[in-house]
Amino acid sequence: MSGNFDINQLSEHLFRHEAGRIVAVLTKIFGTENLDLSEDVVQETFISAMQVWTLKGVPDNPSGWLFRVAKNKAIDVLRKNKFSKQIDFSDPERILLKSEYTLNLALDKLWREDEIEDDLLRMMFACCHPELSVENQITLILKTLCGFSTAEIAHAFLTSEDTVSKRLYRTKNFFRDKKIKPEFPGNNKLGASIEAVLHTIYLIFNEGYYATHSNEVVRKDLIDQAIYLCRLLADNVHTQLPEVNAAMALMCFHAARLKSRLTKSGDIILLADQDRSQWDKTLVSAGNDYLNKAASGNKISSYHLEAAIAYEHCTAPTFARTNWRNILNYYNILATINPNPVVMMHRLTAVLKAEGATAALQEIEASTHKSEWEKSYLFHCLLGDVYADIAPQQAKASYETAIEMTSSKKEQQLLTRKISALG
């Protein structure tokens, strides 16, 4: 092996995703109840890689190298646990792993590298089991499939490592008690299972995209992982439903604008003021492709509509030339299928831009969501925008309420700038 010390040899997040792939395969062998064992094997595998690659360079096929080493380590674990109760050898798929005569053959049957993509999806469905809370689903999916440490999850969701460990502990117990196996949902359940997985992926994405997280690296990380997970679904013939492609489109369009949202010092730049030349054209065009693929079938999901709205923003040459009429139309359909307060509040911006302040005020007064909206600082910010041209004093009052309601410094600064811009 000639030394290859090219730093670009290791693609971004390579170790993370390889860790997820190895865990997905090992789970078939050790069972969902032994995620810890699988994670230990992954750790040992990386230690071996560290010892060899650092001095000899990255091998031509890093993934193949890791898998071969992980497989050998898995054999060691099986031998060591032959008489312990840790691994359930009574399972028909594992019974042959117990005897030395059949171990290698039985392992080869489970260890199919051409089936890894499917294993990853099976694992994804197990992580999003309907009886698990959404927090537990997110924690588990990041831990097992995206190779996050408990510290990294805690950091991403602004919670303590202790909380994350407890969530993992409870989830692992749940797997053990219910004997959950990673499997493909039956045809009649596929839609519902994919919906659950997409919802979890969407929440990971939103945490990265919208949460007022101070650390940009963490935010980008979550966005990358959400797109990675969704792409696994989109690339597989069994799971590439229209709504999966729509969710991919939506995330690509949003991610394309990521860089232009903040100044170098981390101040928020409003959509109207963003430098559109900075938007990532590759991601916009990937978004377009997914949106086209999403156009099959006769079901319109909320992802379709959110993607269509994001598409309008991404393809408007300037803010002034944004097609607010189209955007409002999409929001109106979205309101019929998913009329939650957040969607309805974002719709108000479209009403304001397409039909003017008076129309927006009328909508607000007539809405059943008004009392819910008033709890959110974003609503008061929006109300300020509505009043800005017609009643500057009221606009100022609304912005001030919003300032009191948010704890984010950057948002407070933005609102203060809005107040000083009032005539």
Partner 1 sequence: MAEYLLIFRGGEMARKAEMHSPEEWQEHMQNWMQWMGSLTEQGKLVGAQPLKQAGKQVSGKSKIVTDGPFIEGKEIVGGYLICKANDFDEAVEISKGCPILDFDGMVEVREIGEIKM
Q: Which residues contact partner 1 by CB under 8 A?
A: 3, 5-7, 9-10, 13-16, 18-19, 42-43, 46-47, 49-58, 147-152
Nearest distance from C-beta of residue 221 to partner 1, angstroms: 8
Nearest distance from C-beta of residue 368 to partner 1, angstroms: 45
SS3 call for 212: coil
Nearest distance from C-beta of residue 168 to partner 1, angstroms: 13
Distance between CA atoms of residues 61 and 57, nearest Å: 11
Our CB check for partner 1 shows the closer of 42 and 106 to be 42
Our CB check for partner 1 shows the closer of 124 and 218 to be 218
* Tokens, residue 304: 């379709």
Nearest distance from C-beta of residue 165 to partner 1, angstroms: 12
Chain mean position to CA 180: 23
Our CB check for partner 1 shows the closer of 9 and 329 to be 9
* Tokens, residue 66: 């890791």
Chain mean position to CA 220: 11
Nearest distance from C-beta of residue 44 to partner 1, angstroms: 10
User: If you search the block for the tokens 């493909």, which residue do you land on?
Assistant: 184
Our CB check for partner 1 shows the closer of 52 and 391 to be 52
Residue 160, CA distances (Å) to 154, 155, 156, 167 in order = 5, 8, 10, 11
Nearest distance from C-beta of residue 161 to partner 1, angstroms: 10
Distance between CA atoms of residues 144 and 107, nearest Å: 21
Distance between CA atoms of residues 82 and 79, nearest Å: 5
Our CB check for partner 1 shows the closer of 53 and 377 to be 53
CB 268 within 8 A of CB 262: yes
Our CB check for partner 1 shows the closer of 50 and 158 to be 50
User: If you search the block for the tokens 């590439």, which residue do you land on?
Assistant: 240
Our CB check for partner 1 shows the closer of 164 and 286 to be 164
Nearest distance from C-beta of residue 64 to partner 1, angstroms: 17
Count of beta carbons in the 10 Å neighbourhood of residue 36: 12
Our CB check for partner 1 shows the closer of 55 and 366 to be 55
CB 396 within 8 A of CB 419: yes
Contacts of 71 (CB under 8 A, 6+ apart): 107, 111
Distance between CA atoms of residues 184 and 165, nearest Å: 27
Nearest distance from C-beta of residue 11 to partner 1, angstroms: 10
Nearest distance from C-beta of residue 65 to partner 1, angstroms: 13
Chain mean position to CA 319: 28
Our CB check for partner 1 shows the closer of 54 and 61 to be 54
* b/e code 232-258 from CB counts within 10 Å (16+ = b): bbbeeeebbbbbbbbbbbbbbbbbbbb
